[in-house]
Amino acid sequence: MIGYLRLREIVKSYDGKSNGVDGVSIDVARGEFVTFLGPSGSGKTTTLLMIAGFEAPSSGAIELDGRDLALSRPYERNIGMVFQNYALFPHMTARHNVTFPLRMRHFPRREIKERAEKMLALVGLQKFAERYPRELSGGQQQRVALARGLVFDPDVVLLDEPLGALDKNLREQMQVEIKRIHRELGITMIYVTHDQTEAMTMSDRIAVFNNGRIEQIGSPLDVYNRPVSRFVAEFIGDSNILSGSIDPARSGTVELAGLGAVRVACADAPAGPVDLLIRPERLRPLGNGAAADNVFDMTVDEIINYGESVLAIGKTRGLPLRARLPGAPPETLRRGETIRLAWSAKDAHVLARS
């Protein structure tokens, strides 16, 4: 991949002793939607602010289309920014908030009007253009903030947890809207969130941050199905992680502590101590006489009904286990019941233990 936006060994230290961002490198292609995902304090927002120019790297380089951004002030970088708290001017209407970046850049009056109308139409706010922020809902305010970040044709748009202040339904609506706008404009977007669902549903690629570093970069399915570390496996999605070991003389099996040997389809798995990841949705009920790669019994301790599925939480031979059973009505399960579950060798993922 040829990087349109390139970060090279970016370091940020506020005290000269510890690094909030510690050697972050990533290439982002033109038109790509990349999400920085990680827990609070993992360095994702600080990295975003360094791209925007609101923070200066302690070392490393940031380039945009071959330009060294260290030589440019924030307003010279042609980068749009959308904040979680909207940051709208309360004394300006939605229209004037959107036109503000154009007026600051001294666009011609006619072009300002045309761009504003086009952008308000793109976010569906033509009818609300003359309203002030206090007269708009949270979702509408976020649309104004998005329009303001896009109206001057930025090279990159940075979105810092833009949906964090919205309720669940509005968040889902705005996820769809942001992806629609991304498709229509083909603009490069960097999106910061700690919400796994947002990252999985919206991204072309996800960069998983932890302790100031990127642990893994990949497509949503890559980081979900093939995490490179236990941290990534546990942070993204629900997981069962079982301790075991691999004997190189017994190809295709992992010896799990307390469970014995199980079959896996990881030909390149390392010998020695490992962790075995099995996603709860990969476990399925097994009828009498049916065949499967791996079969075991689970005693159900708790049942959580999600409507379209049931999460059964229990134990197998004393080890904690979670199984998500699609379409299973809650009345078919009881606490204390023992159910037979199975999983395929190809559905497990082996993690080298650090």
Per residue in 201-218, pLDDT (tens digit) is 999 999 999 999 999 999
Q: Which domain holds residue 303?
A: 238-352
Is pLDDT larger for residue 278 or for residue 75? 278
What pLDDT sits at residue 109?
93
Mean pLDDT of the chain: 91
Dist CA 335 CA 302 (whole Å): 6
Q: Are 55 and 172 contained in the same domain?
A: yes
Does residue 86 sit in the same domain as residue 169? yes
201 and 273, same domain (yes or no): no
pLDDT at 278: 95
- Number of structural domains in the chain: 2
Domain match, 286 and 315 both: yes
Report whether pLDDT(233) > 90. yes
- The yes-or-no verdict on residue 137 having pLDDT over 70 is yes
Contact indicator for 187, 28 with CB cutoff of 8 Å: no
> Taking a C-beta distance cutoff of 8 angstroms, is the pair 161, 192 a contact?
yes
* 226, 246: one domain: no
Please determine, for residue 262, whether its predicted confidence score (pLDDT) is greater than 80. yes
> If pLDDT is split at 50, 70 and 90, which confidence band does 56 have?
very high
Residues 245-259 pLDDT 10s: 988 778 788 989 888
Q: Which of 180, 213, 230 delimits the end of a domain?
A: 230
Q: Above 80 in pLDDT, residue 21?
A: yes
Residues 300, 180 share a domain: no
Pair (66, 9) in one structural domain: yes
CB 213 within 8 A of CB 23: yes
CATH number of the domain that residue 248 is part of: 2.40.50.140
Q: Flag whether pLDDT at 286 surpasses 90.
A: no
β-strand partners of 61: 8
Question: In terms of domains, do 226 and 245 share one?
Answer: no
CB atoms within 10 A of CB 171: 19
pLDDT per residue as tens digits for the range 67-79: 999 889 998 899 9
- If pLDDT is split at 50, 70 and 90, which confidence band does 331 have? low
**What CATH number corresponds to the domain at position 220?**
3.40.50.300
Instruction: State the average pLDDT over residues 107-123.
Output: 94
Among residues 230, 251, 273, which one ends one of the domains? Answer: 230
Mean of the pLDDT values across residues 129-149? 93
